[in-house]
Structure 1
Amino acid sequence: METADKTAITVEATVNAPIEKVWESWTAPAHITQWCHASDDWHAPYADNDAQTGGKFKTTMAAKDGSFSFDFEGVYSNVVQYSLMEYGLGDGRKVKIEFVGDGDTTKVTETFDPEDQNPIEMQRGGWQAILDNFKKYTETGL
């Protein structure tokens, strides 16, 4: 899939939690399975994450009614603890996540190459919904 000529999509959220808590929630599989879904009729029944440069991750995202599931997976090209994650997906797309802590708040910014199957706004909305679930979970669920 060719994405070089496409404009990357950015979503962001400010989480009311210190950077250490945000990082733990983002990287620990036990936490990932609690927040990694775009709507309440989906869930993440499985997650594995080796959050280091060269490490791999995989999260299974599934409809709760069993009608559909897929694995979201890739390989980290650059990980700087409490600051940055960059990874490539199997289809060649790139993702960059920046974490900027400021005391009891942390800004999380995700920038990703779009895919070809769905409209840009749908992709932005889906990634933003997952990020919003992450924010809610990290602020209240840990």
Structure 2
Amino acid sequence: MEPSNQAITVEATVKAPVKKVWEFWTKPEHITKWCQASDDWHAPYAENDVRVGGKFKTTMAAKDGSMSFDFEGVYINVEEDKLIEYLIADGRKVSISFAAEGNETNVTETFDPEDTNPHEMQKGGWQAILDNFRKYTEQ
């Protein structure tokens, strides 16, 4: 059994320059296009104020209307095109780094796990969302 405080990391290399990756990651009109872990979910609403002290909220919902929740929090560190750190509403910390390598950008997300679901399930869900982001940004 993993320790409950062990941070989880997911990553992807996006075939796009860091400026585009940053824009697609942070603009609400893009967030609603990629922020879901599976095809039967979607993100019908997003707001994002990307600055220290700024807040974000993304509504994640099952397409059949059976359930939804708001993923929200506040930014604690923002370095444009490089780093985003925030606290989720439940107090867990998330750190996302953007490393430019020519026309590709490595996106690495590290997050504190929650106590309800197994770490592998959490990692799989966050990786699926990151993979959707990569596919959306590369098209």
Normalised TM-score (structure 2) = 0.97
4+ aligned runs moved over 6 Å, structure 1: none
What is the aligned partner in structure 1 of residue 55 from structure 2? 56
Deviation at 1:91, TM superposition (A): 1.0
Q: Match of 1:25, as an amino acid?
A: F
Matched, 1:69 2:87: no
What is the aligned partner in structure 1 of residue 125 from structure 2? 126
How far apart in 2 are the matches of 1:38 and 1:85? Answer: 21
Q: Match of 1:139, as an amino acid?
A: E
Secondary structure of the residue aligned to 2:33 is helix
Pairwise mapping of residues 36-51 of structure 1 onto structure 2 (< 5 A)?
A: 36-51=35-50
Gaps of 5+ in 1: none
Matched, 1:105 2:104: yes
Normalised TM-score (structure 1) = 0.95
Deviation at 1:5, TM superposition (A): 5.8
Gaps of 5+ in 2: none
What is the aligned partner in structure 2 of residue 32 from structure 1? 31
Deviation at 1:89, TM superposition (A): 1.0
How far apart in 2 are the matches of 1:89 and 1:139? Answer: 27
How many residues were matched structurally? 137
CA deviation profile, 1:22-62 (whole Å, cap 9, x unmatched): 00000000000000000000000000000111100000000
What is the aligned partner in structure 2 of residue 138 from structure 1? 137
Check whether the contact 2:98–2:107 (CA below 8 A) recurs between aligned residues.
yes
- Percent of pairs identical after alignment? 72
Mark the CA change 1:6 to 1:136 in structure 2 (over 3 Å): closer, same or farther: same
How far apart in 1 are the matches of 2:99 and 2:12? Answer: 11
Secondary structure of the residue aligned to 1:62 is strand
Secondary structure of the residue aligned to 1:20 is helix
Secondary structure of the residue aligned to 2:98 is strand
RMSD between aligned alpha carbons? 1.0
Q: Match of 2:120, as an amino acid?
A: E
CA deviation profile, 1:61-87 (whole Å, cap 9, x unmatched): 000000000000000000000000000
What is the aligned partner in structure 2 of residue 18 from structure 1? 17
